[in-house]
Chains A and B, each alone.
Chain A
Amino acid sequence: MEAVKFEKVYFSYQADEEKDGVFSSEAAFSLNGVDFSVEEGEFVAVLGHNGSGKSTLARLMNGLLSPSGGKITMLGLDATNEKNLFEIRKQVGIVFQNPDNQMVASIVEDDIAFGPENVGIARAEIGERIAFALDAVGMSEFRRSTPSRLSGGQKQRIAIAGVLALKPRVMILDEATAMLDPRGRKEVMDVVLRLNREEKITVILITHFPEEAMLADRAIVMSRGDIVMQGKPEEVLSRGEELEKYSLTLPRAVKLCRDLKKGGLEVQDALTAEGVASEIENALKKQGADMQDLALTAKGNASAPLLVKKNEPADEKGRIYCENLHYVYNPASPFATHALDGVNLEINAGEFFGIIGHTGSGKSTFVQHLNALLKVPTAEKKYKEKRLKKGEIEPPKTVLKVDGYDLTDKNTDFKELRSKVGMVFQYPEYQLFAETVFEDVAFGLKNFSKEITEEETRRSVRDAMETVGLDYRTLAKRSPFELSGGQKRRVAIAGVIVTKPEILVLDEPAAGLDPLGKEEIMQLLHKIHKEWCKTVIIVSHDMDEIAENCSRAAIFSEGKILAVAEPKTLFEDTEKLENIGLDVPLTAKILSELLPLGLSIDCDFTSADFVKKFIDFAKTRGAGMRLPTKGGQKNA
């Protein structure tokens, strides 16, 4: 039987619902006569840019929305008939994006019991179902935990368990991994795959990560309310130009293969690090390179870090110097936690710096010190020097200098400091509040300088908006809440850079955006960095992002800094990173796959350098190798 069947389904928003949409995270967009079906047991991925209508699809499937025309049949039941909804919802579960907003109880087992309770399952069986569901997502030991103590990935697995407890035959995941870090994403995807393979649950995965869509049996691409592409994922996702037309991107691995191929290396598209590695191996072999000979490394001409701007060595502006920084949350209570435990770090003016680490590693605490949202004790107004007891050794002094300001001194002008050190938090769009975009962007400006003229304000706001790629004329007078998610984020960033800070700190600036949006945000940051911002610091979970963008990066772990180095050195030791549970960039993964063959290439782990080095290597070492075509070189 077909699990899902859409026949000429139309959907459009009525005016009043549109207004409501202000709060509902741009959930639904119109559909223009969509036709498709999913067989039972299938795993289908639905891809599409923000606003393509893919979330509308999910909501139509279990009656959270009803179509304005057409026929929807779920497991043989007519989904447009109100009377069937209860039955459909029992069998068609849905997991949403934000794990926090789909749990009703403060204890895991109570939350999972919610669904079975609703359909009137007997008590003894509910207990069994909780056990089954938790086991299926590998969270059995968390049965009595409270969700607010869990990581994002764990919470989302609990949300899946909550749906599983109803024993559904179809499970829809509506961008369920969008808010998770790479580790959480992998946890969730592993669970989803297993449910499909072992429990034979039909899975409909709505996502904007091409890597996830690769795992499906079939991929569907949506754009502007229509299904525009459909087929095997490896086939759909290799049609690069077509994807681009629908604002989607190729998976990173495929892109790398394409670049290598353009350079003249005979590789086929591959989707995983292992796949790319074996493609490279085969290509080199095929082209006659002597594998024994490959052991020679191509050391020597490692490209210089591209992103460091020249600065006077003594330049205090834009520089961060930190020595022996400690921070304790809830001191002198049973819940005291040492968030920072002696951090030493120097970030020079001109750097594009990366900060890596798990939730709870201390990176957020550190970053909040940089503009005195958290202060060292000696900078507190009430601070009085403690007399040392006899025989007590003076503890080592904390030094914290940011942009020439001494942050250990309580007489420092912290407000002025904050205008020089801009801070963009995670999901900054959630801090928007003003009636118009103009007022919101101008908020910081007016706070920092009371006597600024109207004219100056207007000029600065216009500059900031244009920098982030928002049209001043059409958008300045609009309400920020009417804009799309990506635009809102730009408004929020404009609201920080409007004072032209010398140091800009961003916590996960690209989180939750689709791949294209991510790329755009990174380009924007490079532009700001190049034009006027001395130092940019990004906190990120995405190692590819760090490798591609940063001049140096620091790894935080348990309140300490584990390593500070250029990505080149940082990602050389993949094992060390994996031991503390961090990811490594795709390029590093491929290289470590190739290492057993004796092939090692000395590159800085950006994909551009990776491709270039391999092409160079193949050219000099690979006997009888075909020379790259003309166009290829440019790309490498």
Chain B
Amino acid sequence: MRDVSFGQYYPANSFVHKCDPRMKILFLITYIVAVFMAKNFYALGACFGVFLLVAALSHVPIKSLLRSVRAVLFLLVFTAILNLFFHQGGTVLWSWKFIVITKEAVYSTLFLAARLFLLVLGSAILTLTTTPVSLTDGIESLLYPLKLIRLPVHELALIMSIALRFIPILTDETSRIMNAQKARGADFESGSLMQRVKAIIPILIPLIISAFRRADELGDAMDARCYSGSKVRTKYKKLTFTWRDLLAFLLCAGLLAGVIVLKIYTQSLI
């Protein structure tokens, strides 16, 4: 079952799952731009509204979403605290020796935290509803124009695809090698830092050798299946936009417009 635990894809058959990965990536980019452009809580509220809508459509349980926040919680709290103490000027609320907390600091800290929170949640929706494979396809397709400046888009996509394919294999292999060395008395859990680093060698070397062997064999297999770069190559998988993506696009545009309007008309509001 290990192959499902990498990445954080949540299998379901929702509206969001069925959207074109390119649309989802573009949507996320727009969303991120909107969150950054938002200068007050009204704009952030609009972003949050959009997020709630998408989250509801995605059928991803709130627990899974919050789990992705937990991963960056430390960073979030740390940034917020720094901001709280180092914000300059404003009405002083509380002070002790050199520590001064102002009203503006509290406000901007809450704002920053909310913004980060929204960013993480938004990205989580993308990775929770899109398999790594279709994410790769989406990225390849979006990068396609860069072929004009001779960026080897196809090769990059192939590298990503192969990496995805071999992650579960090498994860399995690592745990097998670890078990084998443990059975021979290797100890990875105790001892000084130096000892622990040294203890990794009996895992690392077989793993590297195996990766090279696999790469070698894969290279032969690819050659044998007529791989010769991208000159005559066609592509089987075609991503197609559907009515879902049109809806998503409209929502996306609406969000961006809304945030811009709010930005212009509510500058004075706090």
Residue ranges of A at the interface with B (Cβ–Cβ < 8 Å) = 20, 23-25, 59, 62, 64, 86, 89-90, 93-94, 96, 98, 100-107, 109-110, 113-123, 126-127, 130, 146-149, 162-163, 166, 329-330, 335, 337, 368, 371, 373, 415, 418-419, 422-423, 425-426, 428, 430-434, 443-444, 447-448, 481, 495-496, 499
| B235 contacts chain A at the CB level, 8 A cutoff | yes
Min C-beta distance of A162 to chain B, whole Å: 7
Q: Is B185 a contact partner of A106 (Cβ separation < 8 A)?
A: no
- A114–B227 Cα gap in the complex (Å)? 8
Residues in A with CB closer than 8 Å to B181 are 431, 443
Tell me whether A105 and B133 are in contact in the complex, defined as CB-CB below 8 angstroms, given that A126-B234, A425-B176 are known contacts.
yes
Contact of B185 among A90, A102, A418, A431 (CB under 8 A): A418
Given known pairs A149-B3, A335-B5, A447-B186, the reply for A101 and B235 (CB within 8 Å) is no
For B182, B205, B221, B237, the residue with the greatest tally of chain A CB atoms inside 10 Å of its CB is B221
In the complex where A89-B223, A430-B206, A447-B185 touch, is A105 in contact with B232 (Cβ < 8 A)? Answer: no
B19 to chain A, nearest CB (A): 18
Cα–Cα distance between A329 and B5 once the two chains are bound (Å): 12
- The residue on B at minimum CB distance from A333 is B5
Q: With A106-B164, A126-B234, A166-B226 as given contacts, are A24 and B180 in contact (CB-CB < 8 Å)? A: no
B183 within 8 A of A: yes
Report chain B residues within 8 Å CB of A130.
Answer: 236
Given the interface pairs A422-B183, A447-B186, the reply to whether A117 lies near B233 with Cβ below 8 Å is yes
Contact B236 A24, beta carbon cutoff 8 Å: no
Of the A-B pairs whose beta carbons lie under 8 Å apart in the complex, a sample of 23, sorted by A's number, is A24-B216, A24-B217, A64-B223, A96-B221, A98-B214, A101-B221, A102-B218, A104-B218, A107-B133, A113-B237, A117-B233, A118-B226, A118-B233, A123-B236, A148-B2, A148-B169, A149-B3, A163-B225, A373-B179, A418-B184, A430-B176, A430-B210, A495-B184
**Chain A residues with Cβ under 8 A from B164's Cβ?**
106
Q: Which single member of A94, A96, A127, A434 contacts B236 (CB below 8 Å)?
A: A127
Task: Flag if A120 contacts B232 (CB, 8 Å).
Answer: yes
The 8 Å CB contact of A104, one of B2, B165, B213, is B165
Q: Is the CB of B1 within 8 A of A329?
A: yes
B62 within 8 A of A: no
> With contacts A126-B234, A425-B179 known, is A101 near B218, CB below 8 A?
yes
Q: Which chain A positions have C-beta within 8 A of B4? A: 335
Contact A104 to B180, CB < 8 A, known contacts A23-B209, A94-B224, A110-B236: no
| Cβ distance B176 to chain A, nearest Cβ, rounded Å | 6
Q: A103-B165, A117-B236 are in contact. Are A433 and B206 (CB under 8 A)?
A: yes
Name the A residues within 8 Å of B144 (CB-CB): none
Also in contact, A90 and B226, with CB within 8 A (given A110-B236, A110-B237, A117-B235): yes
B153-173 residues with Cβ-Cβ distance < 8 A to A are: 158, 161-162, 164-165, 168-169, 173
By secondary structure, the B interface counts as helix
> Among B165, B169, B227, which residue has its beta carbon within 8 angstroms of that of A105?
B165
The CA-CA distance from A163 to B225 in the complex, in Å, is 7
- B212 CB–A CB distance under 8 Å: yes
Bound: A96/B162 CA distance, A: 18
List chain A residues, Cβ under 8 A from B234.
116-117, 120-123, 126
B contact residues around A122 at 8 Å (CB): 234
B184 close to A104 (CB less than 8 A):
no
Q: Does B147 contact A (CB under 8 A)?
A: no
B238 and A415 within 8 A (CB): no
Query: What residue of chain B has the Cβ atom nearest to residue A337's Cβ?
Result: B1
User: Is A102's CB under 8 angstroms from B221's CB?
Assistant: yes
Q: Is the CB of B177 within 8 A of A430?
A: yes
Q: State the 9 A-B residue pairs at the shortest beta-carbon distance, nearest first.
A: A447-B185, A102-B221, A444-B184, A113-B236, A120-B232, A433-B205, A423-B183, A101-B217, A431-B180
Does chain A have a CB within 8 A of B202? yes
Enumerate chain B residues within 8 angstroms of A337, measured Cβ to Cβ: 1
Nearest CB of chain B from residue A33's CB, rounded to whole Å: 25
A447 to B190, CA, bound (A): 13
When the two chains form their complex, are residues A368 and B228 in contact, meaning their CB atoms are under 8 A apart?
no
Are A105 and B161 neighbours in the complex by a CB distance under 8 Å? yes
Flag if A115 contacts B182 (CB, 8 Å): no
Q: Which residues of A contact B218 (CB under 8 A)?
A: 101-102, 104
Counting CB contacts under 8 A, is B201 at the interface?
Answer: yes
A501, closest chain B residue (CB): B183
User: Can you add 11 more A-B contacts, CB < 8 Å, to A86-B226, A103-B165, A106-B133?
Assistant: A23-B209, A23-B213, A64-B220, A89-B224, A101-B217, A105-B161, A119-B232, A120-B234, A163-B225, A444-B185, A447-B185
Minimum C-beta distance from B169 to chain A (A) = 5
Given contacts A110-B133, A119-B232, A166-B226, contact A373 B182 (CB under 8 A): yes
Residues of B within 8 A of A118 (CB): 225-228, 232-233
Please report the C-alpha to C-alpha distance between residue A329 and residue B2 in the assembled complex, in whole angstroms: 10
Q: A419 contacts which chain B residues (CB < 8 A)? A: 185
CB distance from B13 to the nearest CB of A (A): 13
Q: Do A166 and B133 contact each other (CB < 8 Å), given the known contacts A110-B237, A430-B210?
A: no
A603: min CB distance to chain B, Å: 37
CB of B222 within 8 Å of the partner chain = yes
Contact with A along B1-21 (1 / 0, CB 8 A): 111110000000000000000
Q: Which of B18-38 contact A (CB under 8 A)?
A: none
> How distant is B163 from chain A, measured CB to nearest CB, in Å?
10
A434 to chain B minimum Cβ distance, whole angstroms, is 8
CB distance from A81 to the nearest CB of B (A): 16
* Interface contact B217-A98, CB-CB below 8 Å: yes
Chain A residue with the shortest CB-CB distance to B227: A118
Contacts of A149 in B (CB 8 A): 3
**What's the least CB distance linking B189 to chain A, in Å?**
10
**Do the beta carbons of A335 and B217 come within 8 Å of each other?**
no
User: Is B3 a contact partner of A146 (Cβ separation < 8 A)?
Assistant: yes
List the A side residues contacting B233 at CB < 8 Å.
117-118, 120
Q: Are B183 and A481 in contact (CB under 8 A)?
A: no
Distance in angstroms from A443 CB to nearest chain B CB is: 6
Pair A100/B202 contact, Cβ less than 8 Å: no
Please, which residues of chain B bring their CB within 8 A of the CB of A496? 183-184
Whether A96 pairs with B3 at a CB distance below 8 angstroms is no
In angstroms, Cα B237 to Cα A110, docked, is 8
Q: Which residue from chain A places its CB closest to the CB of B221 in the assembled complex?
A: A102
